[in-house]
Amino acid sequence: MDFKKMWLAGVAAAVAVSGALVLTAGPASAATCQAQAFSSCVAVSYQTSSVKSIRVNGRCLVGPSGHYSSVIIRSDETPYVQAYGGGRCEGNTEKRAQVSVGGEDAQRFRWITVF
């Protein structure tokens, strides 16, 4: 393999690695809420390791603590939250967990804290 091919292979590997990092960043990297008036996006903070996923008003949120700009709730409602020990909101892993729903922050996210 000549130098040029080796260099191109190295560039391709670097692109693949940097692309993987972007793809695995998940919901925590999304910090822009586009909710309409009187609505908020959801942000989750896990304060326990026994809960791996939650449902907010029926929508399963999988992943680490962070911002979920694709999940919108009304600002005047208390969302219904279910906690799961499994990583995909599996019904057989539902757990009892203390949940606190905070107010809206400056970026229009409402924080749900799972203890």
pLDDT at 9: 40
Helices (H), the chain: 3-24
- The CA-to-CA distance between both ends of the chain, in Å, stands at 56
pLDDT class for 70, splitting at 50, 70, 90? very high
d(CA 43, CA 57): 14
Average pLDDT, the chain: 80
d(CA 25, CA 95): 26
CA-wise closest residue to 95 among 57, 48, 63, 58:
48
The per-residue pLDDT for range 37-61, each reduced to its tens digit, is 999 999 999 999 999 999 999 999 9
pLDDT at 111: 96
41: phi then psi, degrees, rounded to nearest 5: -85, 170
pLDDT at residue 23 is higher than 70: no
pLDDT class for 63, splitting at 50, 70, 90? confident
